[in-house]
Chain A
Amino acid sequence: MNIIEVDNLVKKFGSFIANDHLTFNVRKGEIFGFLGANGAGKTTAIKILCGLSKPTSGKVMVAGYNVSTHPEEVKSNIGYMSQKFSLYDDLTVVENIRLYGVIYGLSSTEIKERTEILLNRLQLQDARKRLIKTLSLGWKQKLAFSVAILHRPSIVFLDEPTSGVDPITRRQFWEMIYEAANSGITVFVTTHYMDEAEYCNRVTIMADGKIEALDTPANLKKQYGANSMNALFLKLTRKETVGLDN
C-alpha cells in the first residue's frame, strides 16, 4: 500500500523549475531516503508533501489526502522535523513536549503518559526541567524526533535530521528511526550522509529538479556499477557542476 503517491509533480518559481515532473510512491512503513545535492529541489518537494506549498501541476496524495485540496487533513496526519529548528531554546524539555502535544490535539492524559514514556526512552528523566538550550545538539535532535512522532502520525518527514551530529548519536538516532518504522510510521528522510542512505529501504536521488534514480540501495549500486552509495551519488549528481545553492 502506498502512503505517498506523487504523480507528475511540477513546481515552478517564475521561470525556475524546482521540481520537474516528479513521479514516485512511498510504501507504508518503509524508510524512504530522499537524496540530492543542495539546490536539487528536495526542500521544495518536502514543503509540497507537507501541505505547506502548493504544486504548480501534478497530483500529490499524502496519507490518502490530496495536498492541494485537503492540506489540513494532510497536516494532522504527518510529523515534521528539520535540521534547522529542533525545539524552543527557552522552554524546558517538558514544556516543549507539552506544547507540541497540545498543538497536535492530544488530551492532557495522553500528553502526560507519552511524556513519561518518551523521557524514559531517552533517559532524560533528570533533565525534564532543563531548558533546551542547555542540552547538546545530539540530545536536542533525538528529543525533537521523539516530539515529532509524539502524536503517532502515519508519516514523519525528517529534513536532514542528523546534520552536525556526532557518529554515535547518529547511530542512536537511526535506531530510533527503525523503532518508529517498526511501529508502523513511514519515515521520509533527507540526508547528506551516504552511510545513512544505506540504512534506507529505498532511496531516490534527485539532481536538477528531476529524479535520477529510485530503488533499494543494493539494486542502485548494482545498476550503476558503484561499490558504495557515495560513488553512486557522485556519479549521478556530478554532471551538474554549478549547483544552485538552495
Chain B
Amino acid sequence: MKTFIAFVNKESRHIFRDYRTMMVLFLMPVAQILIFGFVISTEIRDASIGILDKSKDDASRRLVQRLSASGYYKVQSVFNYERDIEPAFRRGDIQLAVVIEQGFGNNLRNPDGTAIQLLADASDANTSQMLVNYCSGIIQTFAIEESGIEYAPILTTEVRMLFNPSLKGVYMSIPGTMAMVLILISAMMTSISITREKEFGSMEVLLISPLKPYQIILGKVVPYVVLSMINAISILALGIIVFKMPVLGSWMWLFVLNLLYILLSLALGIFISTVARNQMVAMFASMFALLLPTILLSGFIFPIESMPWPLQWLSRVVPPRYYIQAIKTVMLKGGGLTYMWHELVTMTGFLVLFLSLSIYKFKVRLE
C-alpha cells in the first residue's frame, strides 16, 4: 500500500510538473465541448434566404414576415428579377430562394390555388433538404390559416419527437464529445506515459525492482482515472449548465457509466503502450486508432443507421458507440439498467479484452 501511494505520488508529480500537458488536459475538453456544442449544429438558425415577390400584395408580405419571424430564416436579399437569383446562390449570399407567384393573395382563395417556388442550394444536400422542409411546413400552415379552409385529409400523421422535442443537435454532440475527449485523454495519456518509461529505460529499472508489473501499471493508471473523472465532470457540468442538457436518469448510473468507459479507455491505452515502441508511435496510434473511429463510426456525427452495412458492422467494434448510446439512455430517456445493460456488458467485455491482450503482450515480451 505504501509503495502504491508512493507510486501514485510520483505519477501525479510527473503530471503536475508538466504545465503544458496540464493545460492541454484540462482546457482541451472545455474548448472541445464548446466548439462542438456551438459549431457542429444540425439545427437551422437564421439561414439566409432571398425573396422574389412577383405579387407584392398583402398576403405575400405576411408570408415573408412569417418566414423571417420563425427564427429559422433571415431575409438576406430581395430580388426583382429571376435572373438575379442564380448569381446570389453562386456568391453564397443565400441558401434558399422563395419565389412568390404573381397574384398570390388573390389566387389563395381560388379553387385552382396558387404556387410558390423554392430554390435551394443542394451543394449542401442535408442542409438544403432541411431548409426546404421547414419552409414548406411554414407555408403549409400559412396556407391553411389564410384560406380558412381546414383540409380534412383521410389520414393524418402526427409526429412527436420524443426525448429531444426541439431536435437540439447539442444533445447529440455532448455525449459524442464526452466519448471522444475521455477516450483520447485516458488512452493517449496512459499510453504515452507508459511508453515514456519504456523509452527512457526506467521501465526496466522498475521491472527489475521487487514491484510486480500490475503494481507498476496500477500506480501509473490511478492518477489518470482521477484526472479523467474530473474531466468527465467538467464536460457534464458544461453540458448541463451551458447547453441545458437534462439528466433524467440516475446520477449513479451516469457515474458508473463514465467510470466504466474511463477504465476501458485506460485499458486501451495500456494495450497501445505494449505495442508502441516510443511516445511518438503511441501518440499517433491513439490519435488515428481512436479519434477517427470515435468521430466517424460511433454515431457521434453520422447516424449509424444510415451507414452502409460494412461500416455499420465495423461500428460495433468501436467502444464509444456503446458509451454514447448508454449516456443518451440515461440523460435523455431517463432509462436505468434495464435499458442499457447490453451496453454495459459490451463495454465490460471490451475492458476485459484490452486488459487480457495487454497482459498477454507483456508476458510475451518478458519471455
Which residues of A does B touch, CB under 8 Å? 50-54, 72, 75-76, 78, 80-82, 84-85, 88, 90-91, 95, 98-100, 102-105, 131
Contact = CB atoms under 8 A, between A and B. Distances in A.
B367 A80 contact: no
A103 B3 CA distance: 6
Contact of A98 (B6, B200, B204, B367): B6
5 contacts: A52-B207, A82-B204, A91-B10, A102-B2, A105-B3
Most chain B beta-carbon neighbours within 10 Å: one of A100, A102, A105: A102
A228 B6 CA distance: 48
A103 B208 contact: no
A178 to B, nearest CB: 23
B218 to A, nearest CB: 14
B367 A75 contact: no
B14 A88 contact: yes
Given A53-B366, A54-B367, A98-B6, A88 B208 contact: no
A104 B201 contact: no
B3 A88 contact: no
Contact of B210 (A53, A95, A99, A105): A105
A8 to B, nearest CB: 19
Contacts of B208: 50-52, 75, 78, 80
B49 to A, nearest CB: 58
Most chain A beta-carbon neighbours within 10 Å: one of B10, B14, B211: B10
Contacts of A90: 13-14, 17-18
A99 B219 CA distance: 12
A89 B204 CA distance: 16
B70 interface: no
Contacts of A103: 3, 6-7, 206, 209-211
Interface string B77-101: 0000000000000000000000000
B201 A99 contact: no
A148 to B, nearest CB: 9
Interface string B204-246: 1111111100000000000000000000000000000000000
Nearest to A80: B208
Contact of A91 (B13, B209, B367): B13
Nearest to A50: B208
Q: Specify the main secondary structure of chain B where it touches its partner.
A: helix
A82 B367 CA distance: 21
Contacts of A105: 3, 210
A82 B201 contact: yes
B202 interface: yes
A75 to B, nearest CB: 5
A99 B8 CA distance: 10
Contacts of A88: 10, 14, 202
Contacts of B14: 88, 90-91
Interface residues of B, number: 22
A4 to B, nearest CB: 15
A102 B6 contact: yes
Contacts of A50: 208
A72 B10 contact: no
Given A76-B210, A99-B10, A103-B211, A85 B204 contact: yes
B6 A85 contact: no
Contacts of A102: 2-3, 6
A105 B209 CA distance: 10
B210 A104 contact: yes
A123 B3 CA distance: 28
A96 B294 CA distance: 39
10 nearest CB pairs, A to B: A85-B201, A84-B201, A102-B6, A76-B210, A80-B208, A85-B202, A50-B208, A90-B17, A75-B210, A103-B209
B228 to A, nearest CB: 21
Given A82-B205, A84-B204, A131-B17, 11 more contacts: A51-B208, A52-B204, A52-B366, A75-B210, A78-B208, A84-B200, A85-B204, A99-B7, A99-B10, A103-B211, A105-B3
Nearest to B15: A90
Contact of B209 (A54, A85, A104, A131): A104
Most chain B beta-carbon neighbours within 10 Å: one of A72, A80, A81: A80
A54 B96 CA distance: 73
Given A53-B367, A82-B201, A85-B200, A95 B3 contact: no
Contacts of B200: 84-85
Contacts of B13: 90-91, 95
Contacts of A76: 210
A28 B10 CA distance: 35
B341 to A, nearest CB: 41
A105 to B, nearest CB: 7
Contacts of A81: 205
Contacts of A75: 208-210
A64 to B, nearest CB: 16
Contacts of A91: 10, 13-14
